[in-house]
Amino acid sequence: MVITHAPAKVIIIGEHFVVHGQPALAAAVSLYSRTTVDAGITGTIKISSPNLGVTDMFPAKQSDDTDLSTSARSLLEPLRRVVMAVLKRAARTDEGLVVEITSSIPVGVGLGSSAATAVSTAFAVARFLDLRIDRSEICELASVQEQIVHKKPSGIDSTTATRGGVILFKVGDSPVSLPQRNQFNIIVGNTGKERSTGDLVSAVTRRVEVGDKDLARISKAAGMLTCEAVRAYEKGDFHRLGKLMDANHELLVKIGVSNPQLDNLVKVAKSAGALGAKLTGAGGGGCMIALSRPEDSKKIAEAIANAGAKPYLVGIDWSGVRELSQ
């Protein structure tokens, strides 16, 4: 048996715009998707998710035109493809496996739940098969699921879940891990409103494709904010970083991906002492994040809860995906 876990992610600055070539700053945080892999019946893959209440059995050699007539199969199909990709890489497509997913990451709210699950599963299956792969290969294998779930993913979610820490990411460039800093906290505020990341990203993409000049200008401004944010982070200037997060939220408001509940949570968090606050992920619901001094974190979390959202006081996960002791 092999047990692994991979962390959730928040985007500190740069969501949406990262899909279209701008840099973004992301952090892995201490909410986890956990995968257990054990031997199963030869030629079959059993996948279950107790959190979602689904389980199903698939032939190991099943083609990509899988029958998705049941809700369980539809939910588990992206993970099946991840498992199959690893089996194919290992040249062991007849292997029987039992795969179980459990997670503390809320689903569909911008914290990278699907990416963390895909990364954890790809790594767990690889370790079970004794397939030696590096972190870039884990991202590659996990992207099979992300392409199904998010339609046009940038890769930032799976990269952050794999590597851990604080990451400077730009499509086409090698990701850069920034130095560890411990002088700040992050509070996540979950509105509880699920939405489709793929649909929201696609809506912005359509504006890019028709040559929306306002969006192009805003996208460039967001890229500049990310570059400034990296400098502020490296200097330990978290007051400046917070101000840049505020500015990024305003850009996201301008492109229409925020909503009144997220805007209110941002306002509430700042009133409670946050250095900066913004939505994180695709928007349209989901989550916001607040940057704070350690001594202000509980007060900010209480303010978020009083405003009707669920707060999470999270730490930075500096390890990324890893195997757990049994």
Query: Do 84 and 212 fall within a single domain?
Result: no
- Do 99 and 232 have their domain in common? no
320 belongs to a structural domain: no
Decide if 163 contacts 115 (C-beta within 8 A).
no
Same domain, 28 and 55: yes
Same domain, 39 and 127: yes
Give the end of a domain, one of 146, 176, 206: 176
Question: What's the mean pLDDT in 180-192?
Answer: 93
- Domain stops at, among 126, 160, 176: 176
Q: What is the mean pLDDT of residues 284-303?
A: 95
Residue 35 lies in a domain: yes
- Token pair of 96, please? 């029987």
Question: Token pair of 7, please?
Answer: 């962390």
More confident: 28 or 77: 28
Provide the annotated active-site residues: 157
Q: Which DSSP string do the residues of 294-308 spell out, in sequence order?
A: GGGHHHHHHHHHHTT
pLDDT for residue 198 is more than 80: no
Same-domain status, 66 and 34: yes
Indicate if the pLDDT at residue 179 is higher than 60: yes
Q: Give domain status of residue 288, yes or no.
A: yes
Residue type at position 34: R
Tell me which residue has tokens 């007051």.
Answer: 239
- Between the alpha carbon of residue 241 and those of residues 12, 142, 145, 244, the distances in Å are 9, 31, 32, 5
Residue 215 and residue 307 share a domain: yes
Highest-confidence segment of 16-30, 134-148, 299-313:
299-313
Tally of CB atoms within 10 A around 129: 18
pLDDT score of 148 more than 90 = no
Nearest-angstrom CA–CA distance, 259 and 195: 12
Give the pairing of strands 322-324 and 276-280. unpaired
- For residue 19, what pLDDT is reported? 83
What six digits make up the tokens of 189?
């505020």
pLDDT at 196: 55
Domain check: are 141 and 230 in the same one? no
Tell me the residue range of the domain where 158 lies.
2-176
Domain-located, residue 322: no
- Give the pLDDT score at 190: 96
Q: Are residues 256 and 199 in the same domain?
A: yes
Q: In whole angstroms, give the CA distance from residue 195 to residue 71.
A: 18
- How many whole angstroms separate alpha carbon 36 and alpha carbon 62? 22
CB 201 within 8 A of CB 16: yes
Decide if 39 is inside a domain: yes
43 assigned to some structural domain: yes
Q: Indicate whether 27 and 140 sit together in one domain.
A: yes
**In this model, does residue 284 exceed pLDDT 90?**
no
CB distance 275 to 293 below 8 Å: yes
- Joined tokens for residue 288: 């916001």
Asked if residue 150 has pLDDT above 90, the reply is: no
Which residues is 312 bridged to in the sheet?
188
Residues 186 and 84 in one domain: no
Give pLDDT, residue 67.
55
321: in domain: no
Query: In this structure, are 135 and 204 located in the same domain?
Result: no
Residue 225, pLDDT score = 97
Question: Quick one: pLDDT at residue 36?
Answer: 98
Q: Which residue, among 205, 249, 202, 267, has the nearest Cα to 11 in the 3D structure?
A: 249
**Percent of the chain clearing pLDDT 90 (strictly above):** 70
State the CATH number of the domain containing residue 243: 3.30.70.890
Q: Which residue has the higher pLDDT, 70 or 236?
A: 236
The residue among 235, 284, 230, 280 whose CA lies nearest residue 256 is: 284
Q: Decide if 324 is inside a domain.
A: no
On the question of pLDDT at 177 being above 70, the answer is yes
Tally Cβ neighbours within 10 Å of residue 1: 10
CATH number of the domain that 78 lies in? Answer: 3.30.230.10
Angle at 104 between CA 80 and CA 250, to 5 degrees: 100
pLDDT digits (tens, 9 = 90+) for 245-270: 999 999 999 888 899 999 999 999 99
Same domain, 162 and 13: yes
pLDDT at 30 over 70: yes
Has residue 146 got a pLDDT over 70? no
Looking at the predicted structure, is the pLDDT value of residue 234 above 70? yes
User: Of 154, 176, 198, at which residue does a domain stop?
Assistant: 176
Q: How many C-alpha atoms does 325 have within 13 Å on its Cβ side?
A: 0
Residue 226 pLDDT exceeds 80 = yes
Q: Cα–Cα–Cα angle for 12, 15, 21, nearest 5°? A: 120
- pLDDT, tens digit, 9 for 90 and up, residues 92-117: 988 999 999 999 999 889 999 999 99
pLDDT class of 77 with cuts at 50, 70, 90: confident
Domain count, the chain: 2
- Taking the C-alpha atoms of residue 83 and residue 2, their distance in angstroms, rounded to an integer, is 14
User: pLDDT tens digits for 114-142?
Assistant: 999 999 999 999 999 999 999 999 999 99
pLDDT of residue 145 exceeding 90? no
Q: How far is CA 318 from CA 56, 161, 165, 311, in A?
A: 34, 10, 4, 21
Which pair of structure tokens corresponds to residue 116? 């963390």
Q: Report percent pLDDT > 70 for the chain.
A: 88
The residue to which tokens 């949406």 are assigned: 16
